[in-house]
């Protein structure tokens, strides 16, 4: 027998899944703009603002569900996790805007050698894969999908530190290239971390177990 709160939780699930898809679109647009040297800042700003508004709506609805329906422990676990995930998605939007900002200010990878461009592009692809894993695990509430992010997250971390080491050893890159690419790879590394946090939240929703996947 369904409960009144179940309808509210389903609405939250639909909204946060929609938020996840918008997050992926926002990050993809920002990353591709950066890699291609194309200005997308205004579009990304608008999408980032939409993500913040959606996170606020999820938070408001969460407090309403708690106040009106006296949720049991499993419901509270889901409500709390949805609020945390929505904040992670909103932060993705902020990172996407930051990437589009440094692209406009520092001309992306325009002054970088090909090896820099190739490594940043490869890391970007890997991070977008991590974000997609987090969204798919959320949509399906699938623990196995969530746990699969561990390998990708480790690969991203290794790529980040390897890139920094190569950059330190290079004497040919311009200041603009160094600043732009270091900021970009740092944002990518943080995005992968937050995608991992989302997957940890999915495991918590489904099983009640708190685990680290990083």
Q: What 3 state SS string does the chain have?
A: CCCHHHHHHHHHHHHHHHHHHHHHHHHHHHHHHHHHCCCCHHHHHHHHHHHHHHHHHHHHHHHHHHHHHCCCHHHHHHHHHHHHHHHHHHHHHHHHHHHHHHHHHHCCCCCCCHHHHHHHHHHHHHHHHHHHHHHHHHHHCCHHHHHCHHHHHHHHHHHHHHHHHHHHCCCCCCHHHHHHHHHHHHHHHHHHHHHHHHHHHHHHHHHCCCCCCC
Q: What is the pLDDT of residue 111?
A: 87
Q: Mean per-residue pLDDT for 138-151?
A: 96
Q: What is the pLDDT of residue 47?
A: 98
Is the model's pLDDT at 143 over the cut of 70?
yes
What confidence tens digit (pLDDT) does each residue in 9-64 have?
999 999 999 999 999 999 999 999 999 999 999 999 999 999 999 999 999 999 99
What confidence tens digit (pLDDT) does each residue in 111-121 have?
899 999 999 99
The confidence band for 1, taking pLDDT boundaries of 50, 70 and 90, is low
Q: What is the pLDDT of residue 165?
A: 93
- Which residue ranges form the domains of the chain, and what is each CATH number? 4-207 (1.20.58.220)
Q: Mean per-residue pLDDT for 138-155?
A: 96
Percent of the chain whose pLDDT exceeds 70: 100
Q: Mean per-residue pLDDT for 104-114?
A: 91
Distance CA(88)–CA(93), nearest Å, equals: 9
Is the model's pLDDT at 149 over the cut of 80?
yes
Mean of the per-residue pLDDT values for the chain? 94
């Amino acid at each position: 027998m369904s409960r009144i709160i179940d309808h509210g939780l389903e609405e939250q699930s639909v909204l946060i899944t929609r938020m996840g898809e918008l997050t992926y679109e926002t990050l993809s647009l920002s990353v591709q703009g950066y890699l291609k040297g194309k200005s997308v800042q205004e579009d990304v700003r608008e999408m980032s603002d939409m993500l913040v508004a959606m996170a606020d709506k999820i938070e408001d609805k969460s407090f309403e569900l708690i106040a009106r329906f006296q949720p049991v422990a499993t419901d509270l676990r889901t409500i709390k996790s949805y609020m945390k995930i929505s904040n992670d998605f909103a932060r993705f939007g902020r990172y996407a805007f930051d990437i589009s900002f440094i692209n406009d200010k520092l001309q992306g990878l325009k002054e970088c050698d090909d090896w820099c461009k190739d490594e940043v592009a490869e890391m970007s692809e890997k991070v977008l894969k991590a974000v997609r894993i987090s969204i798919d695990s959320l949509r399906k509430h699938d623990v196995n999908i969530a746990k699969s992010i561990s390998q990708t997250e480790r690969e991203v971390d290794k790529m980040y530190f390897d890139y920094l080491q190569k950059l330190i050893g290079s004497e040919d890159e311009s200041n603009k290239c160094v600043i732009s690419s270091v900021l970009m790879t740092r944002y990518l590394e943080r995005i992968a971390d937050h995608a991992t946090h989302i997957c940890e939240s999915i495991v918590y929703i489904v099983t009640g177990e708190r685990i680290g996947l990083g």
